[in-house]
Chains A and B, each alone.
Chain A
Amino acid sequence: MIEYLPFLVVVAMILIGLYAVLFRRNLIKLVFGISIIESGINLFLIILGYRDEGVAPIFTSLPSGTMYPEGMVLPVPQALTLTSIVIGVAVLALMLSLVMHIYRKYGTLDVQKIRRLKE
């Protein structure tokens, strides 16, 4: 079980984010929980592409004695993680704009008090 230790860290991050989304009342804490879940998923994508004793897949001044398809880390999961980070930034910006508008209209950030549609 000790060779699955990074995957256990990913599961812990997803569960902490889900706990913050389900059990907290402040809206800003909900936004933090969603951001923690996205960070856990990005970490999972990078972990999938690791080879033992590997270097980065860049050919400029390699350390001497590196065999090139067998001694390098896989490059495709790193490209997918770049796209995922940018999507997380876009969703976070739109969520925070909505939270600012809700605070101006209702005067409070408590989720249990915003439940009725007020005029």
Chain B
Amino acid sequence: MSEMTKIVKTTANILFPFTMIFGLYVIAHGHLTPGGGFQGGAIVVSGCALLLVAYGSSWVFDRIKDKRLVTFESMGAIGFIMLAFLGLVFSAVFFGNFLAGSGTLFGTTPATGSTLADFNTGGILPLMNFAVGLKVIAGLFVIVLVMAYASSAKEWG
């Protein structure tokens, strides 16, 4: 794809940071409000696709190698599996929640019934939200980028 006019590029430059901050907010507060890893990842990918349309796929593909994005996705998957195995080590159940109820990192228990939002609760759930969010962002962005680059190449080798 070729790049677009200056008005489209300026609008995409203004809109992209707000979209990314809103997507990271939805990922990080997955244990308090509706949302979580998958939903926030889809919001960030929609902001990245806006940049891809405004600047042209050749320009973006030359700056972001897809090997780096595949490495990010593998790191997200390995983090998810490591959290499950740590549950097996510390509390004898695969996927066990070993941080809920203890006094360390995300450990306090909320009161029963309708409460105000306390960020320190949740056990291993916020860490799993971050791992799955990273995996979804890298995976969907590499799919959109490779298909957009391949649909405008002249010959296919």
The docked-state distance in angstroms from the alpha carbon of A64 to that of B113 is: 11
Give chain B's interface residue range (CB within 8 Å of chain A): 10 to 19
Q: Is the CB of B116 within 8 A of A96?
A: no
CB distance from B115 to the nearest CB of A (A): 6
Query: Per-residue CB proximity of B83-119 to A under 8 Å, as 1/0?
Result: 0000000000000000000000000001001111100
A-B Cβ contacts below 8 A, count? 33
The residues of A that contact B116 with a CB separation of less than 8 Å are 60-61
The residues of B that contact A64 with a CB separation of less than 8 Å are 114
* Chain B interface, DSSP helix/strand/loop, else mixed: loop
Q: With A96-B147, A100-B151, A104-B156 known to touch, is A86 a contact of B115 (CB < 8 Å)?
A: no
Q: With A97-B147, A100-B147 known to touch, is A61 a contact of B34 (CB < 8 Å)?
A: no
The residues of A that contact B33 with a CB separation of less than 8 Å are 58, 60
CB distance from A86 to the nearest CB of B (A): 6
The residues of B that contact A82 with a CB separation of less than 8 Å are 38
B143 at interface by CB-CB < 8 Å: yes
CB distance from B106 to the nearest CB of A (A): 16
Q: Which residues of A line the B interface, CB within 8 A?
A: 56, 58-62, 64, 66, 68, 82, 86, 89, 93, 96-97, 100, 104
Q: Which residues of B line the A interface, CB within 8 A?
A: 32-34, 38, 110, 113-117, 140, 143, 147, 150-151, 156
4 further A-B contacts with Cβ under 8 Å, apart from A61-B116, A66-B114, A96-B147, are: A59-B115, A82-B38, A93-B147, A104-B156
